[in-house]
A and B are shown apart, each in its own frame.
Chain A
């Protein structure tokens, strides 16, 4: 039985071109890019290429790209780096209730250091109101950090509108674009953001490597301190193999982006229509139109998501769940709760994310297995039995 992989938000298979580029570096280039001799310069050239490729994906200048160890480091760097750099200007930061954990936990730490955090509500689709952002700005505000697209429900925020407000009020604006970069087209100049985080494993690059776009002139302190690597913004000898993988993944996302989008939209619609036709009592999450094209978040009433995920794995289909039981912290998804969903329904939420290698046959497999697996768990559920009686 072939295995169907539908958890591309967690990690994506490497693009063949990415593998090829990384293999080449592993085989041929071991030098330290900071060394001025030929071995070092070969590594430095590989970094330059990757920097151009990554900048090109975002419409940025190569010197505005800082390579990091992934989305989490990029976000940590953006938030803590601006907070520390602007410490004498003020200690107020604005965000939303549905950011990724890396954002929320950075802000939690800053709260311990006497920063004031305003966390804005979102509507039932997960959208934040730009007017609410403007209203929250005070003369102490040093940073606004709002995700470009949500990683659990896919809702895409009106980032350009918020960036316009931030620019007018002279507040630094960071957008966490980890869930969106390499999936939908992003132009940092058109968006006019100061900082943008991305991760390679979202678009067929390797795990553990990412980038932070830093618009020229943005005040930011290093997160990792030491040498002068990455234009003095990120110390430490660079992960050349990973960065080369990121660069090639960015180039391939740029070249294949249009075709991938078409495919994602087809698969997504087929999955949503198919599930609606086959299974009653489902709720699809996120904004109906302003949404990532490769992501389907669906809440299945009367059952819990971890069991669903495990039974689908048994059928050779790999998806993710956002149930509290699977989260480690045993808390319901703050994103789903943030959109006003009740805990019991949030418990039954599956997250299905497509990648460039998925086909319609993969969707067919899920559509075939899912009604069966859902029914098995519903038959075991005491709340389903009550619902049927009522």
Chain B
């Protein structure tokens, strides 16, 4: 179900760990809603000199974290801010449809860490304090069934047309 690249990054994750004196830290998600990714940055002359992650989540979430750190390492902060969830998923040669939300968490964690670094520089945030993004599910009025494309109410548990369970991204 996973591409060989996803499996490789899951089994041999790059840049696992934390940076004790990180210049920027982003924490996205929480274990209660399924996944949690922490990203730690070391920045020099506006370039990401070192990056590490810690992740609680499935194989896809770990692979996304690993690929993300590879994509971001050596990039300027502006370049890294432009890395999207889609870039990560594409670099992994695709994710199963029901795992795409894992890649959303990844880029968000990177962006949160960069924001945290910039806030610290502007002295808006104290050193050592992380940027936390809880990722609480949004309330939406309507959603479309991923299996039969019929419109359903926002928080519907199952599709009224085909009966499939409706996943709600967290």
Contacts and interface: CB of A to CB of B under 8 A. Distances in A.
Nearest to A326: B58
Given A109-B163, A324-B34, A344-B31, A385 B99 contact: no
A108 B31 contact: no
Interface string B65-104: 0000000000000000000000000000000001101100
Nearest to A321: B58
A326 B58 CA distance: 8
A382 B170 CA distance: 18
A325 to B, nearest CB: 3
A325 B99 contact: yes
Interface stretch (B8-16, B41-49, B116-124): B8-16
B50 interface: no
B83 to A, nearest CB: 21
Interface stretch (A67-75, A289-297, A307-315): A307-315
A347 B31 CA distance: 9
Interface centre among B58, B98, B102 (most CB of A within 10 A): B58
B33 A343 contact: yes
Main secondary structure of the interface of B (DSSP, over half): mixed
Contacts of A326: 58
Contacts of A306: 58-59
Given A302-B56, A303-B56, A342 B167 contact: no
A105 interface: yes
A323 interface: yes
B59 A344 contact: no
Contact of A382 (B11, B27, B60, B102): B27
A314 B34 contact: no
Contacts of B168: 330
Nearest to B101: A330
A26 interface: no
A232 interface: no
A304 B99 CA distance: 14
A328 interface: yes
Contact of A330 (B13, B98, B163): B98
Contacts of A381: 54-56
Interface in B1-51: 7, 10-11, 13, 16, 18, 27, 31-38
Nearest to A302: B56
A66 to B, nearest CB: 25
A169 B38 CA distance: 57
B135 to A, nearest CB: 14
B151 interface: no
Interface in A9-68: none
A124 B66 CA distance: 37
A379 interface: yes
Query: Size band of the B side of the interface?
Result: 35 or more
Nearest to A377: B62
B149 interface: no
Contacts of B7: 310
Nearest to A310: B59
Nearest to A108: B158
A311 to B, nearest CB: 7
Given A109-B163, A307-B62, A324-B34, A314 B11 contact: yes
Contacts of A303: 56
A343 B32 contact: yes
A380 interface: yes
B129 interface: no
A325 B60 contact: yes
B34 A383 contact: no
A342 B16 CA distance: 27
Contacts of A344: 31-32, 56
Given A329-B165, A382-B54, A307 B59 contact: yes
A306 B102 CA distance: 13
Interface string A83-111: 00000000000000000000001001100
25 contacts: A105-B163, A108-B158, A302-B56, A303-B56, A310-B10, A310-B11, A325-B58, A325-B60, A328-B98, A329-B165, A330-B167, A330-B168, A330-B169, A344-B32, A380-B13, A380-B16, A380-B55, A381-B54, A381-B55, A382-B27, A382-B36, A382-B38, A382-B56, A383-B31, A383-B36
Interface of B: 7, 10-11, 13, 16, 18, 27, 31-38, 54-62, 98-99, 101-102, 158, 163, 165, 167-170
Chain A to chain B: the 5 pairs with minimum beta-carbon distance, closest first = A325-B58, A344-B31, A329-B165, A306-B58, A382-B54
Given A304-B58, A344-B32, 16 more contacts: A303-B56, A304-B56, A307-B58, A311-B11, A323-B58, A325-B34, A328-B98, A330-B98, A342-B32, A343-B34, A379-B16, A380-B16, A380-B62, A381-B55, A383-B31, A385-B18
Interface of A: 105, 108-109, 302-304, 306-307, 310-311, 314, 323-326, 328-331, 342-344, 347, 379-383, 385
